[in-house]
Amino acid sequence: MTDTSSPESPENTEAPGLSRRRLLGTAGAAGAAGLALGAVGGAGVAAAVNSDGEGPAALTSVGATEVMFHVKHQAGITTPLQSRGHLIAFDLAPGAGRKEATALLRRWSHVAKQLMAGRSLAGDDTEVARDAGPSSLTLTFGFGRTFFDRTGLTAQRPMELDPLPDFSSDHLDPRRSNGDLWVQIGADDALVAFHALRAVQKEAGEAARVRWQMNGFNRSPGATASPMTTRNLMGQVDGTGNPKPSEPDFDKRIFVPESGRPAGQEWMAGGSYAVVRRIRMLLDDWEKLPRGDQEAVIGRRKKDGAPLTGGDEFTEPDLAKAGPDGQLVIAADAHSRISAPEQNGGAAMLRRPFSYHDGISADGTPDAGLLFICWQADPLRGFVPVQRKLDRGDALSRFIRHEASGLFAVPGGPGEGEYVGQRLLEG
């Protein structure tokens, strides 16, 4: 965080870290449009609105919405889906240990706090996000299983980070899987997200090296007037069954409880476990399938996501219902039947994905699909039982391929003055 800017630059006459904030104005958040964006709770959402009357007041809630850094749970878990996302995993550099990791998490936390508030970084900011508002930027930090041995923190490693079981349909590339450290970046502006990604990479410095990096996207705010859940690149409404923060057991299912942790693992209180899967969609095959067959694979109508047994997207599917031919209306291998919580002992996870599209593969097929990210208090009561069942008999499995996988412990949000992971690293 040293100031490498040249003395010639007029930029230096501004207080470090204040330039973008000053440019945008700092009007109060009350009643700002950002609050209406449908936050699903948990993360605090405020908004800074341009009110200085200079220039065209074109900063809408898209740019003005600010997500808080110091909150109970890290941002980027219950924050509404952003239109742009980056995932990046690092391995600690050879020779780097707990000391270097601690300094890195301090630097990353500083960067996250500054950028999420729409501020520039002192001195060496790339300026890619200059002129833009915070744009709902979130940075979310997690630790992979391998982090703990390398930092002498083996006793603090939660059993929830034990490797995921192998699934028979996995085609995992280890070079794009796991990692010591993981950062999820989301924003409603692509340049704001890219700016944060480069800052995270830069701060890694000599302490950590990039292991893999992926880019994703979701629908833009304001592109739809529909109250329905968003769609994926197969055209399916995706995410209907997600637990809702208003449900009484939401916190219990998604976040690690504040108390009752095994000794040494109190640091995960308020945290959550992220399972990350790069799921390629075999779109050339899928799109050739007639719509009725697609709907049978999913068990839902393509048009509106309603169960094939009727109603609308949010109607409970009637899994026992048979048609005139005596066959189940929602087939035994339909994706929505197999993944339903009631079929999995109530297993629940909060899915918060990004779509991805990396152009065309060497074989001519689209390299596109879902950066599936799900959040849960315990992967063994969330992702694992559901994926086990899908692995055995999901009609959708012919059209998708799990190509990479990661499991990360994402600690609770840092208190005022704290950095992310402080309770682990200094615990």
Residues tagged active-site: 238
CA distances from 91 to 41, 220, 280, 421 (A): 32, 32, 24, 16
Q: Does 10 contact a copy of itself by CB under 8 A? A: yes
Q: CA 39, CA 78: separation in Å to the nearest integer? A: 7
Which is closer to a copy of itself, CB of 24 or CB of 161?
24
* CA dihedral sign, ordered 17, 22, 25, 27: positive
* Site residue total, a copy of itself (CB under 8 A): 82
Contact region for a copy of itself (CB under 8 A) — 6-14, 72-80, 143-151, 382-390? 6-14
Contact, 353 vs 414, CB < 8 A?
no
Report the residue number, 350 or 368, with the smaller CB distance to a copy of itself: 368
CA distance 126 to 106: 20
Please give the C-alpha separations between residue 15 and each of 19, 66, 123, 170, 226, in angstroms, as whole numbers. Answer: 7, 21, 10, 51, 44
Q: How far apart are alpha carbons 116 and 82 in whole angstroms?
A: 13
Residues between 20 and 49 with contacts to a copy of itself, criterion CB under 8 A: 23-24
Q: Segment near a copy of itself (CB under 8 A), from 132-140, 255-263, 345-353, 389-397?
A: 132-140
Q: Which residues contact 115 (CB under 8 A, 6 or more apart)?
A: 121, 129, 134, 137, 139, 192, 195, 196, 199
Tracing tokens 């109250």 back to the chain, one arrives at 227
x/- track of binding to a copy of itself for residues 223-252 (CB under 8 A): xxxxxx--x-xxxx----------------
The first and second tokens of residue 392, run together, are 């055995």
424 touches a copy of itself (CB under 8 A) = no
Binding region for a copy of itself (CB under 8 A) out of 39-47, 151-159, 222-230, 389-397: 222-230
Q: How far is the CB of 376 from a copy of itself (least distance, A)?
A: 27
Pick from 1, 35, 46, 190: which binds a copy of itself (CB under 8 A)? 190
Among 164, 192, 319, 377, binds a copy of itself (CB under 8 A): 192
Among 162, 249, 258, 293, binds a copy of itself (CB under 8 A): 293
Between residues 217 and 408, which has the closer beta carbon with respect to a copy of itself?
217
Using CB under 8 A as the binding rule, whether residue 7 contacts a copy of itself is answered as yes
Handedness of CA 207, 210, 211, 217 (dihedral sign): positive
Q: Provide the CA 71 distance to its chain's centre, in angstroms.
A: 17
Taking CB under 8 A as the binding criterion, the range among 131-139, 251-259, 270-278, 336-344 that sits at the site for a copy of itself is 131-139
C-alpha distances in Å from residue 79, one per residue of 113, 228, 341: 16, 17, 23
Instruction: Pick one of 166, 249, 287, 312: the residue that binds a copy of itself (CB under 8 A).
Output: 287
Question: Is residue 331 involved in binding a copy of itself (CB under 8 A)?
Answer: no
Q: Does 315 bind a copy of itself (CB under 8 A)?
A: no
